[in-house]
Amino acid sequence: MSRRFQLACYVTEDVSRAFAERVRARDLTIAAAVRQLVLADLYGRGNPAELRQNLLFQTIALDGLLQAHPDPELRQRILKIWRARLAEEGLTDAA
């Protein structure tokens, strides 16, 4: 039988409240969210600078593919959908 170990930390009341709200929005328990953070840090997340570099490469590559697509309107339709989705989420694009 494998044994489990508990991890704990202290945070301010504001941090605790904000984290609990985010966790509830994702339909998780605090323990499950902390477990995900620990596992992501150990196994899932790379260097943030490397992740940004990879995302930039993927974005440029996808844009190139959209521009080269036989349907000349595809890129504009995708951008329109993307901007609409950002607006739904209350976000904004950099353009």
Q: What is the pLDDT of residues 52-88, one digit of tens each?
A: 999 999 999 999 999 999 999 999 999 999 999 998 8
pTM: 0.50
DSSP assigned state of 71: S
**Could you give the angle at the alpha carbon of 92 between the alpha carbons of 87 and 95, nearest 5°?**
125
Close Cβ partners of 82 (under 8 Å, ≥ 6 residues apart): 93
4-31 pLDDT tens trace: 888 889 999 999 999 999 999 999 999 9
Report whether 66 contacts 75 (CB < 8 A): yes
